[in-house]
């Protein structure tokens, strides 16, 4: 068995992809692995998408423990580098804890139904048809844009600012900045508006205009709600998550280094 770890009980979960399954077989005898529901921390083998899936699973089940990701996927922005012969117990003992706070989305559909989801990366509103979406944007009780004509709009956390937000030409936000990125997706009007950086205490409301002609869907990370009337967003401070990173490979450093990629 491996060295004693600072966590009394450790779980391991692996994505179905073969590289993650192979790593799981290699690590099988490293610890006396516990079920996720009984663990003090979890080792996640896979990519960013699988890490988000596990974090959301813990949020949905109401029991959140620190997560140490090992990248067996493509990008691995939320993960640590995989080295087959690394002493995992030593890595976990030295890992830096990083807090990540998700967005809480309350979405009201055209039929009046209410849907609530958390988003660790971003909440995006996207047009459902060829018709341009028209969306009213309200921030902390004040209408900032009466009519945004666009393919969509998103609100991203610092942890998610290098994901869809960056692809939509939104700003990269350092962790600990207490900021949110409000970014339009292919905006047509106001023609010169390219988004805003908001304090994370802001409450943001999106209202869909002309919804019968211009239907809009809302996506909170991997959860989609269609035919939206209104979306309300705020930071869910009571749902704080903890990621574990190797020294020198923290999410802070990755966010900074991403801004210097040509």
Does 48 share its domain with 128? no
Does 97 share its domain with 108? no
The reply, when asked if residue 37 is annotated as ligand binding, is no
Size of the chain, expressed as the number of residues it contains: 262
Residue 20: inside a domain: yes
- Tell which residue, 165, 175, 21, has the closest CA to residue 97: 175
Which CATH number do you get for residue 190? 2.60.200.30
Domain limits for position 53:
10-101+240-258
Does 128 share its domain with 232? yes
What residues are labeled active site? 48
Tokens linked to 148 = 């945004």
Say how far apart CA 125 and CA 55 lie, in whole Å: 22
Cis before 102 (ω within 30): no
Does 137 share its domain with 82? no
Does 108 share its domain with 209? yes
CA 154 to chain centre: 12
- Tell which residue, 254, 243, 248, has the closest CA to residue 52: 243
Q: Which of 44-48, 105-109, 152-156, 244-248 has the lowest mean pLDDT?
A: 244-248
The 10s digit of each residue's pLDDT in 117-164 is 999 999 999 999 999 999 999 999 999 999 999 999 999 998 899 889
Neighbours of 204 (CB within 10 A): 22
Residue 208: inside a domain: yes
- Asked whether the predicted pLDDT for residue 90 surpasses 70, the reply is yes
- Asked whether the predicted pLDDT for residue 252 surpasses 70, the reply is no
The reply, when asked if residue 250 is annotated as ligand binding, is no
Domain count, the chain: 2
Does 84 share its domain with 132? no
Residue 49: inside a domain: yes
Give 7's pLDDT tier (boundaries 50, 70, 90). Answer: confident
The 10s digit of each residue's pLDDT in 44-80 is 999 988 999 999 999 999 999 999 999 998 777 889 9
CB 67 within 8 Å of CB 97: no
The reply, when asked if residue 166 is annotated as ligand binding, is yes
Residue 3: inside a domain: no
Which CATH number do you get for residue 47? 3.40.50.10330
Does 90 share its domain with 27? yes
The reply, when asked if residue 118 is annotated as ligand binding, is no
Neighbours of 85 (CB within 10 A): 5
The reply, when asked if residue 85 is annotated as ligand binding, is no
Does 60 share its domain with 161? no
Does 96 share its domain with 165? no
- Asked whether the predicted pLDDT for residue 261 surpasses 70, the reply is no
Residue 4: inside a domain: no
- Residue 59 falls in which region: left (phi positive, over 0), alpha (psi -120 to 50) or beta: alpha
Does 149 share its domain with 227? yes
Does 110 share its domain with 87? no
Residue 1: inside a domain: no
């Amino acid at each position: 068995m491996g060295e004693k770890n600072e966590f009394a009980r450790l779980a391991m979960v692996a994505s179905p992809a073969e590289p993650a399954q192979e790593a799981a077989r290699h690590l099988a005898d490293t610890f006396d692995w516990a079920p996720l529901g009984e663990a003090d921390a979890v080792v996640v083998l896979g990519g960013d998408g699988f890490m988000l899936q596990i974090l959301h699973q813990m949020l949905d089940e109401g029991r959140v423990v620190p997560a140490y990701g090992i990248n067996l996927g493509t990008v691995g922005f939320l993960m640590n580098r995989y080295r087959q012969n690394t002493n995992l117990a030593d890595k976990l003992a030295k890992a830096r804890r990083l807090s990540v706070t998700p967005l809480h989305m309350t979405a009201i559909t055209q039929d009046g139904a209410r849907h609530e989801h958390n988003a660790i990366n971003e909440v995006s509103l996207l047009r459902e048809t060829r018709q341009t979406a028209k969306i009213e944007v309200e921030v902390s009780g004040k209408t900032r844009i009466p009519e945004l004509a666009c393919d969509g709009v998103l609100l991203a956390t610092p942890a998610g600012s290098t994901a869809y937000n960056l692809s939509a030409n939104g700003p990269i936000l350092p962790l600990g900045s207490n900021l949110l990125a409000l970014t339009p997706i292919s905006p047509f009007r106001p023609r010169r508006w390219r988004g805003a950086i908001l304090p994370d205490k802001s409450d943001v409301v999106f209202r869909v205009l002309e919804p019968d002609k211009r239907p809009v869907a809302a996506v909170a990370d991997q959860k989609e709600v269609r035919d939206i009337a209104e979306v309300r967003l705020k930071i869910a401070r009571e749902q704080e998550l903890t990621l574990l990173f190797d020294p020198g490979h923290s999410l802070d450093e990755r966010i900074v280094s991403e801004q210097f990629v040509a």
